Amino acid sequence: MATTTSENKVLKGGEFLIKPSDHQELFIPEDFNEEQLMIKETIKSFVDQEIMPLTDRIEKLEEGLIPSLLEKFGELGLLGTHMPEELGGSDMDYITNTLIGDEVGPSGSFTVSYNAHTGIGMLPIFYYGTEVQKQKYLPKLITGELKASYCLTEPTSGSDALAAKTTAILNAEGTHYILNGQKMWITNAGFADIFTVFAQVTGENLPNGKSGFTGFIIEKGMEGFTLGAEEKKLGIKGSSTRQIYFENVKVPVENLLGEVGKGHHIAFNVLNTGRFKLGASCVGGTKKLVSESLHYAMEREQFQSPIAAFGAIQYKLAEQAIRSFVAETAVYRTAQLIQQAEQQFKSDGHDPARAKREAAEQYALECSIVKVVGSETLDYVVDETVQIYGGMGYSEEGHVARAYRDSRINRIFEGTNEINRLVILNTVMKLAMKGQLDLMSAGMAVQNELMNGEAASPTYDGSYAQEQLLIDNFKKALIMVLGTAAQQAMSGKLDLKNEQEIIMNLSDIIIDIFDAEGALLRVMKIAENYPEKKY
Ligand SMILES: Cc1cc2nc3c(=O)[nH]c(=O)nc-3n(C[C@H](O)[C@H](O)[C@H](O)COP(=O)(O)OP(=O)(O)OC[C@H]3O[C@@H](n4cnc5c(N)ncnc54)[C@H](O)[C@@H]3O)c2cc1C
């Protein structure tokens, strides 16, 4: 359970809970190379010069504005940085793609549209489409000629997404599925051309006898496809969000996505990446607010002094900076894990789509952590930004009020944070049951330490010895609590599945361990490799 080791190997999903990580092996933002820094600067200039000045017009949902910005992004080659070259993309690595999402982060409504298009919009086709479907749609989605949308939620099925009521019935000729139903809260719906829609295949004429939750590619303009009005929202007002209605929409069988009855694989695997991307953009938004809070606090004077001189404000600034640092570390730590897994899968001979999909799936737990940490850090930081700005933070004249409203959605979509906390604990338990996460041996080692005094972790020396020991102890505490919960559940004394207060708290401990360890490893690496930046 040590925090460093020289024989460190790439950790599998959840293994950070029981295995050490080497700080020198961790990718941290200070490690960006020249090319990555150039990309970062390009995106930052685009956001500052091309997007931010249009904020008022974007907020009014000016027709064609967000689509035209997406097209400009496409012209710069920024919609396909995660796609293979043969489809028109530039196949950049996962960390660089994360950096792009991070830099787009501060742009509010545009961020949501960009993430929906490049993430949950494009990925279903990339991950699960046939070669024909990929060739037909992806090159145009990469240039921005077509825009994408993802339709899972319905009025009566949000968190319980698999309870969708939209139906797809194969016609007697076997040429088309007839779609009927309704989707709700669909991002980009107002201008998208391509929609991944999930529906229940049902009826008398089942394809090869199969039925159930299934994905389809729907094109705007198909007869019987209509859009509702734009939703009036609390924030991200410039992002198009509408209902979609399907009334006897004839969908060619060629537009079936993946396999009948396997739509849940598409829905959930796409969400792993969607959650990660959301966390990365939240961190981008967070960093901008931290820097703005600092500038404002240094300039604004009260009682003949900059407000930054007051301890109460200094505390806020420090807390904002610490939380932002921690969340950013979690994002890039996860990006590196996914990138390494993707490379491994590719060298094992997987095609690029499968390699990407399975890499994200392997780190579903870490993706959920990034989603929760990113969104909750942004909410904390934006709230304190309003406080530091005082009345100016409450005014619609500035952009802080908008950022405050925009931030709130992140805890709701891509799986609410409650659902992600359920996913976190559930994934740990599943990995342990499947023998992929050896919690049992870790638990026995901790028990042995408690009973016989045989230390389950090494002794440390050096400047961060005490912190390293603390991280080990966090992990031991979790393992003890998890072990107790599992024992009580097995003996029938605890119905863990229905004790959500316990699950939420266990997930919080898991999140805190990932965060605390990442932050310590980053600080240790900075101290050794970048002493000029030492914290
Ligand atoms: C602006 C916006 C854009 C969106 N974009 C898209 C999109 O592009 N595509 C798409 O398909 N969907 C989209 N959504 C839908 C979004 O994913 C859902 O709103 C979200 O999944 C929550 O579903 P719900 O709103 O029905 O809330 P509900 O599921 O009704 O949840 C209400 C509350 O109950 C809690 N809850 C529910 N179930 C449980 C449980 N088992 N245990 C504990 N707590 C629980 C939730 O955490 C939440 O706090 C968007 C939503 C919004 C608001």
> What pLDDT does residue 94 have?
98
Cα–ligand 1 centroid distance for 153 (angstroms) = 8
* 193-219 per-position pLDDT tens digit: 999 999 999 999 999 999 999 999 999
| Average pLDDT in the chain | 96
Q: Are residues 203 and 258 in the same domain?
A: yes
Atom of ligand 1 nearest to the CA of 120: 8
What is the Cα–Cα distance from 231 to 186, expressed in whole angstroms? 10
Residue nearest to atom 31 of ligand 1 (CA): 159
Average pLDDT estimate for 431-458: 89
Cα–ligand 1 centroid distance for 410 (angstroms) = 11
Q: Are residues 431 and 491 in the same domain?
A: no
What is the Cα–Cα distance from 426 to 433, expressed in whole angstroms? 10
Percent of the chain with pLDDT over 90: 93
Strands 167-170 and 194-202: parallel
> What pLDDT does residue 33 have?
98
Cα–ligand 1 centroid distance for 435 (angstroms) = 32
Residue nearest to atom 44 of ligand 1 (CA): 418
Which residues form the domain of 464? 438-533
Cα–ligand 1 centroid distance for 359 (angstroms) = 25
Residue at 20 is within a domain: no
Atom of ligand 1 nearest to the CA of 159: 29
CA-based Rg of the chain, rounded to a whole angstrom? 24
Atom of ligand 1 nearest to the CA of 112: 3
State the CB neighbour count (10 A cutoff) for residue 259.
Answer: 16
What is the Cα–Cα distance from 410 to 282, expressed in whole angstroms? 8
The verdict on pTM exceeding 0.95 is yes
Are 357 and 367 in contact by the 8 Å Cβ rule? The answer is: no
| Residue 474, C-beta contacts closer than 8 angstroms, at least 6 positions apart | 509, 512, 513, 516, 517
What is the Cα–Cα distance from 264 to 199, expressed in whole angstroms? 10
Number of domains in the chain: 2
Q: Are residues 477 and 354 in the same domain?
A: no
* 302-327 per-position pLDDT tens digit: 999 999 999 999 999 999 999 999 99
Last residue of one domain, picked from the residues 418, 435, 452: 435
Between 449 and 202, the higher pLDDT residue: 202
> What pLDDT does residue 147 have?
98
> What pLDDT does residue 231 have?
98
Residue nearest to atom 50 of ligand 1 (CA): 185
Token pair 């709230």: residue: 383
Q: Are residues 82 and 146 in the same domain?
A: yes
Last residue of one domain, picked from the residues 412, 435, 458: 435
Residue nearest to atom 7 of ligand 1 (CA): 186
User: Is pLDDT at 69 greater than 80 in this prediction?
Assistant: yes
Average pLDDT estimate for 455-471: 90
Q: Are residues 101 and 223 in the same domain?
A: yes
Residue from 197, 416, 420 to probe ligand 1 pocket by mutation (most atoms less than 8 Å from CB): 416
Cα–ligand 1 centroid distance for 108 (angstroms) = 20
| Residue 328, C-beta contacts closer than 8 angstroms, at least 6 positions apart | 29, 102, 283, 286, 287
β partners of residue 198: 215
Nearest residue to 447 (alpha-carbon basis) of 488, 477, 423, 424: 477
Atom of ligand 1 nearest to the CA of 152: 11
Phi-psi region of 197 (alpha: psi -120 to 50; beta: other; left: phi over 0): beta
Query: Does residue 223 sit in helix, strand or coil?
Result: coil
Cα–ligand 1 centroid distance for 322 (angstroms) = 30
> What pLDDT does residue 534 have?
62
Pocket of ligand 1 (CB under 6 A): 116, 150-153, 158-159, 185-187, 233, 241, 409, 412-413, 415-416, 418-419, 500
Q: How confident is the model at residue 8 (pLDDT cuts 50, 70, 90)?
A: very low
Residue nearest to atom 41 of ligand 1 (CA): 419
Residue from 111, 413, 426, 496 to probe ligand 1 pocket by mutation (most atoms less than 8 Å from CB): 413
| Residue 439, C-beta contacts closer than 8 angstroms, at least 6 positions apart | 17, 18, 428, 432, 479, 482, 483
Between 456 and 366, the higher pLDDT residue: 366
Q: How many CA atoms lie less than 13 Å away from 195 in the CB half-sphere? A: 31
In 301-363, alpha helices (H) = 311-347, 352-362
User: Is pLDDT at 2 greater than 80 in this prediction?
Assistant: no
Q: Are residues 88 and 192 in the same domain?
A: yes
Q: Are residues 343 and 464 in the same domain?
A: no
What is the Cα–Cα distance from 116 to 61, expressed in whole angstroms? 16
> What pLDDT does residue 6 have?
41
Last residue of one domain, picked from the residues 435, 464, 484: 435
Q: Are residues 454 and 410 in the same domain?
A: no
Residue at 378 is within a domain: yes
User: Is pLDDT at 47 greater than 70 in this prediction?
Assistant: yes
Residue at 206 is within a domain: yes
Residue at 408 is within a domain: yes
> What pLDDT does residue 195 have?
98
Residue nearest to atom 51 of ligand 1 (CA): 185
Average pLDDT estimate for 29-36: 98
Q: How confident is the model at residue 1 (pLDDT cuts 50, 70, 90)?
A: low
Phi-psi region of 221 (alpha: psi -120 to 50; beta: other; left: phi over 0): left
CATH of the domain at 248: 1.20.140.10
Query: Does residue 195 sit in helix, strand or coil?
Result: strand
Residue at 413 is within a domain: yes
Strands 241-252 and 225-230: antiparallel
Atom of ligand 1 nearest to the CA of 116: 8
Chain centroid to CA 59: 24
Query: What single DSSP character describes residue 116?
Result: I
User: Is pLDDT at 422 greater than 50 in this prediction?
Assistant: yes
Q: How many CA atoms lie less than 13 Å away from 534 in the CB half-sphere? A: 8
Q: Are residues 154 and 296 in the same domain?
A: yes
Chain centroid to CA 50: 25
Q: Which of 86, 414, 418, 501 is catalytic?
A: 414
Q: Are residues 182 and 253 in the same domain?
A: yes
Are 375 and 411 in contact by the 8 Å Cβ rule? The answer is: yes
Residue at 131 is within a domain: yes
What is the Cα–Cα distance from 329 to 514, expressed in whole angstroms? 10
Q: Are residues 305 and 355 in the same domain?
A: yes
Are 124 and 138 in contact by the 8 Å Cβ rule? The answer is: no
Residue at 2 is within a domain: no
Residue nearest to atom 48 of ligand 1 (CA): 416
DSSP class per residue in 468-525: HHHHHHHHHHHHHHHHHHHHHHHTTS--GGG-HHHHHHHHHHHHHHHHHHHHHHHHHH
- Would you call 414 a catalytic residue per the annotation? yes
User: Is pLDDT at 9 greater than 90 in this prediction?
Assistant: no
What is the Cα–Cα distance from 442 to 444, expressed in whole angstroms? 5
Cα–ligand 1 centroid distance for 367 (angstroms) = 18
Cα–ligand 1 centroid distance for 381 (angstroms) = 23
Are 84 and 352 in contact by the 8 Å Cβ rule? The answer is: yes
Q: Are residues 426 and 490 in the same domain?
A: no
Residue at 94 is within a domain: yes
Cα–ligand 1 centroid distance for 361 (angstroms) = 21
> What pLDDT does residue 472 have?
95
Nearest residue to 339 (alpha-carbon basis) of 319, 360, 324: 360
What is the rounded (10 degree) CA torsion for 183, 184, 187, 188? 60
Query: Does residue 351 sit in helix, strand or coil?
Result: coil
Q: How confident is the model at residue 404 (pLDDT cuts 50, 70, 90)?
A: very high
Phi-psi region of 64 (alpha: psi -120 to 50; beta: other; left: phi over 0): left
Are 30 and 529 in contact by the 8 Å Cβ rule? The answer is: yes
Residue from 237, 412, 424 to probe ligand 1 pocket by mutation (most atoms less than 8 Å from CB): 412
Residue nearest to atom 38 of ligand 1 (CA): 159
> What pLDDT does residue 5 have?
45
| Residue 507, C-beta contacts closer than 8 angstroms, at least 6 positions apart | 421, 422, 424, 425
Are 201 and 214 in contact by the 8 Å Cβ rule? The answer is: yes
